[in-house]
Amino acid sequence: GEDVEQSLFLSVREGDSSVINCTYTDSSSTYLYWYKQEPGAGLQLLTYIFSNMDMKQDQRLTVLLNKKDKHLSLRIADTQTGDSAIYFCAVPLSSASKIIFGSGTRLSIRP
């Protein structure tokens, strides 16, 4: 079945860039998601990228997609304390309406 993997933790200094990486196995997904979960809350869609794109930029967020390596990354520029959260990479299954989530990366910001 589909497997989505992420590292569990990332710590960055305030003002630096954060890069969260994700690898997946289902290459037929037409798009891929990044979700953000703040403490004690549900998930919010942060951004998504179509599989025919290599890059998508939205203000401080940059998503890079390497389809050959099945690698997705999320870069947050000028990381702020409000960016502290768990970030989930998510891949819809092409065969169903389900979304498969990675384990989530907990981003912590240090002063």
Positions that interact with other proteins (CB under 8 A): 8, 30-31, 33, 35, 40-45, 48, 86, 88, 92, 94, 96-101, 103-104, 106
End-to-end CA distance of the chain: 41
Least distance in angstroms from the C-beta of 21 to other proteins = 16
Instruction: Quote the CA–CA distance of 28 and 49 in Å, as a whole number.
Output: 14
Whole-number minimum distance, CB 49 to other proteins, in Å? 10
Shortest distance, position 96 Cβ to other proteins, whole Å: 8
CA distances from residue 100 to 71, 103, 104, 109 in whole angstroms, order as listed: 15, 10, 11, 27
